[in-house]
């Protein structure tokens, strides 16, 4: 975020478009939120980032395909733990085809890419059995650190040089003029036959010489030889000169003179550029120091904002955990407001707009549609972090475990076998905030909302919003939020609110009868609705009959596709276990042990 602001404040960098690529959605969301804070403080920054033909985008590996910007800021997010250890698990790139996801991200920059990471390539352990994605990530970091890519086969290079008599003649003639040459530059089948180094900046080449030898002959068609390959090189800044074998043998002196004249001219340009660069750097030294100081101040300021955002999330976690405990243990207690308290009209209006989720088996009815949703944006979904407070983990005993169950059993659903979570892929379009907010696009937004819900329901409303924003290349702002809400209402989505969080359901789904369990290690635990969490718990108990509390949580997390049980996921599942017990789907089987209620779900769907 500080780098984005630095580029906005620098007149020389401001004209270059910027994109941000993150490894996962949580990084994407945090960066979006921090930038939104900056937009509130600086309207000009907002206009610069979100206006123009190529507005700033923030996307993760899953949805960045098709986008290009002049500069890409690549946020890795993985790094050492508190003990300095680094896991070789980098999420989706460890899976089959992970190297293709990285290739998409690596090729989004037209001019430059900046890598934000807290580790080096040497921290990544690469063996013969390492996934291709991990190897590609290691090699990319190594290249970004300024190291050479792995060299080609030395014997092959020597063999090709031996065949290239013209190439060696040209190299000898050019080096006799005082230039340094390097043959066969590049790491693909297509290489620059001779690259001539810039005498004033050894990291650059002032010219590339292309021959019609081995590289030319191996190129399959005329378009690639004459247009595609040279076009790519020119786009990358190469000055090219072609030497034909026939012309060289017919009139060697003429071709050599043409070549050296071109080199002398480019050398003069390089000298002028170098002198101008030195003068600019001297003039900008003080200004650069001031910018660096401002950048350090900005990093400190944004760091404070990030700490506040994280603290607010943790506070929301604690409030949610306390609320769930209170709801589970305080049924039937007097909840009247203190005498003299003013009624909260807004709260009453919101409560009427989207009814709270009833417990399973309590005669649920679907919310007819978003017409009943308050115009106000619902509160963000709180995440349960799972604290050390015993009260947060303790599952209250029910007064009578043999209490009569509802006529159709404790839970009207019959959980099925876990299936893969299907993520909706929307068609990518490039819109600015103004175009996205145009009323003419309301139906398009509604169609995108409907497609996400039809694919992923039950799904968090905020997830639907992120999918739509990402597909249109916009970020959260006042106008885009308003446009999304209008499109959402036009889509007439069936919704339910659970503890202040809005979930979207397909028209053919009944929340009280929902039997699904979907496997996805990429899905945040707070995006899973209570019904699906309950189904995973019932599924775990159906497999093992009786389980202790910790085992219930562990087995349910595995059923949902999580290989690692973190504090946040643990807190979410403990709250769901409380909910499952209070609804009668689960009962105690001894101290800290649980089993399915008799008459509860004991078979797979369809049996």
- Candidate from 37-46, 91-100, 193-202, 404-413 with smallest mean pLDDT: 404-413
Q: Helix, strand or coil for residue 598?
A: coil
Q: How far apart are CA 116 and CA 23, in angstroms?
A: 11
In terms of residues, how long is the chain? 607
Check residue 506 and give its pLDDT.
93
Q: How far apart are CA 481 and CA 122, in angstroms?
A: 43
Average pLDDT over residues 561-566: 80
Q: Tell me the pLDDT tens digit for each residue of 468-481.
A: 999 998 888 888 99
Average pLDDT over residues 4-11: 90
In this structure, are residues 461 and 503 in contact, taking their beta carbons and an 8 Å threshold?
yes
In this structure, are residues 548 and 541 in contact, taking their beta carbons and an 8 Å threshold?
no
DSSP state of 492: T
**Alpha-carbon 390 to chain mean position:** 35
Check residue 21 and give its pLDDT.
92
Check residue 82 and give its pLDDT.
84
What percentage of the chain carries pLDDT values higher than 70? 76
- Candidate from 145-149, 407-411, 586-590 with smallest mean pLDDT: 407-411
Check residue 315 and give its pLDDT.
64
| Threshold 0.85, pTM exceeds | no
**Residue 83's pLDDT band (boundaries 50, 70, 90)?**
confident
Comparing 330 with 141, the larger pLDDT belongs to: 141
Q: How far apart are CA 31 and CA 20, in angstroms?
A: 9
Is 70 exceeded by the pLDDT of residue 333?
no
Q: Tell me the pLDDT tens digit for each residue of 18-33.
A: 999 998 888 888 898 8
Q: How far apart are CA 310 and CA 445, in angstroms?
A: 31
Q: Tell me the pLDDT tens digit for each residue of 524-553.
A: 888 899 999 999 999 988 887 888 888 889
Is 70 exceeded by the pLDDT of residue 103?
yes
Q: Tell me the pLDDT tens digit for each residue of 250-281.
A: 888 888 889 889 998 898 888 888 888 888 77
Per mean pLDDT, which of 318-322, 358-362, 363-367, 415-419 is the most reliable?
415-419
Per mean pLDDT, which of 122-126, 382-386, 460-464, 600-604 is the most reliable?
460-464
**Residue 405's pLDDT band (boundaries 50, 70, 90)?**
very low
Q: How far apart are CA 97 and CA 39, in angstroms?
A: 37
Average pLDDT over residues 285-306: 79
In this structure, are residues 475 and 456 in contact, taking their beta carbons and an 8 Å threshold?
no
**Residue 450's pLDDT band (boundaries 50, 70, 90)?**
very high
Check residue 371 and give its pLDDT.
32
What percentage of the chain carries pLDDT values higher than 90? 19
**Residue 359's pLDDT band (boundaries 50, 70, 90)?**
very low
- Candidate from 1-15, 31-45, 292-306 with smallest mean pLDDT: 292-306
Q: Tell me the pLDDT tens digit for each residue of 56-79.
A: 999 888 778 778 899 999 998 888
Is 80 exceeded by the pLDDT of residue 352?
no
Ordered DSSP codes for 225-273: IIIIHHHHHHHTT--EEEE-HHHHHH-HHHHHHHHHHHHHHHHHHHHHH
**Alpha-carbon 277 to chain mean position:** 38
**Residue 485's pLDDT band (boundaries 50, 70, 90)?**
very high
DSSP state of 356: B
H-run or E-run covering 192: strand 192-198
Distances (CA, A) of 243 to 173, 177, 178, 254, 426: 14, 18, 20, 11, 48
Is 50 exceeded by the pLDDT of residue 354?
no
Check residue 73 and give its pLDDT.
95
Distances (CA, A) of 474 to 203, 261, 271, 486, 590: 37, 50, 44, 16, 53
Is 80 exceeded by the pLDDT of residue 327?
no
- Candidate from 73-82, 286-295, 444-453 with smallest mean pLDDT: 286-295
Per mean pLDDT, which of 15-29, 285-299, 437-451, 559-573 is the most reliable?
437-451
> Average model confidence (pLDDT) for the chain?
76
In this structure, are residues 74 and 40 in contact, taking their beta carbons and an 8 Å threshold?
no
H-run or E-run covering 547: strand 546-548
Check residue 453 and give its pLDDT.
95
Average pLDDT over residues 326-336: 43
Is 90 exceeded by the pLDDT of residue 351?
no
């Amino acid at each position: 975020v500080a780098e984005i602001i630095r580029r906005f404040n620098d007149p020389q960098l401001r004209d270059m478009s910027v994109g941000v690529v993150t490894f996962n959605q949580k990084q994407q969301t945090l960066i979006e939120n921090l930038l939104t804070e900056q937009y509130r403080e600086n309207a000009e920054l907002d206009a610069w980032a979100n206006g123009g033909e190529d507005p700033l985008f923030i996307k993760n590996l899953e949805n960045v395909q098709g986008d290009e910007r002049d500069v890409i800021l690549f946020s890795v997010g993985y790094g050492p733990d508190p003990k300095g250890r680094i896991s070789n698990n980098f999420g989706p790139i460890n899976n089959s085809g992970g190297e293709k996801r990285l290739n998409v991200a690596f090729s989004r920059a037209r001019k430059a890419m900046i890598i934000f990471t807290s580790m080096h390539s040497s921290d990544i352990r690469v063996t013969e059995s390492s996934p291709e994605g991990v190897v590609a990530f290691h090699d990319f970091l190594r290249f970004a650190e300024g190291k050479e890519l792995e060299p080609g086969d030395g014997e092959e290079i020597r063999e090709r040089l031996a065949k290239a008599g013209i190439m060696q003649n040209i190299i000898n003639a050019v080096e006799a003029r005082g230039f340094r040459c390097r043959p066969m530059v590049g790491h693909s089948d297509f290489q620059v036959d001779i690259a001539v180094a810039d005498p004033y900046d050894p990291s650059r080449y002032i010219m590339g010489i292309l021959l019609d030898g081995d590289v030319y002959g191996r190129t399959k068609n005329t378009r690639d030889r004459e247009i595609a390959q040279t076009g790519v090189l020119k786009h990358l800044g190469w000055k090219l000169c072609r030497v034909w074998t026939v012309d060289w043998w017919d009139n060697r002196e003429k071709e050599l003179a043409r070549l050296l004249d071109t080199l002398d001219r480019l050398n003069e340009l390089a000298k002028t550029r170098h002198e101008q660069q030195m003068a600019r750097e001297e003039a900008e030294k003080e200004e650069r120091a001031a910018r660096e100081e401002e950048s350090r101040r900005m990093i400190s300021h944004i760091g404070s904002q990030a700490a506040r955002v994280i603290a607010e999330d943790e506070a929301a976690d604690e409030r949610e955990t306390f609320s769930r405990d209170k709801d589970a243990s305080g049924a039937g207690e007097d909840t009247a407001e203190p005498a003299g308290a003013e009624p909260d009209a807004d709260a009453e209006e919101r409560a009427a707009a989207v009814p709270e989720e009833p417990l399973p088996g309590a005669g649920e009815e679907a919310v007819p549609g978003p017409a009943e949703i308050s115009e106000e944006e619902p509160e963000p979904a709180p995440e349960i972090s799972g604290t050390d407070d015993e009260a947060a983990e303790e599952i209250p005993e029910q007064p009578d475990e043999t209490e009569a169950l509802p006529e159709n059993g404790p839970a009207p659903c019959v959980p099925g076998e876990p299936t893969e979570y299907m993520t909706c892929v929307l068609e990518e379009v490039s819109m600015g905030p103004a175009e996205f907010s145009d009323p003419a696009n309301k139906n398009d937004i509604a169609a995108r909302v409907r497609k996400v819900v039809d694919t992923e329901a039950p799904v968090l409303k905020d997830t639907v919003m992120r999918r739509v924003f990402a597909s249109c290349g916009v970020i959260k702002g006042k106008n885009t939020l308003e446009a999304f809400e209008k499109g959402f209402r036009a889509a007439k989505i069936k919704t339910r609110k659970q503890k202040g969080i809005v979930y979207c359901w397909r028209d053919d789904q009944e929340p009280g009868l929902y039997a699904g369990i979907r496997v996805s290690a990429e899905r945040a635990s707070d995006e899973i609705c209570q019904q699906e969490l309950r189904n995973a718990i019932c599924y775990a108990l159906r497999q093992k009959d009786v389980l202790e509390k910790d085992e219930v949580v562990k087995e349910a997390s595995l059923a949902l596709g999580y290989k690692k049980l973190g504090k946040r996921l643990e807190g979410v599942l403990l709250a769901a276990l409380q909910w499952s017990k209070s609804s009668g789907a689960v009962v105690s089987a001894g101290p800290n042990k649980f089993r399915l209620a008799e008459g509860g779900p004991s078979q797979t769907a369809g049996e």
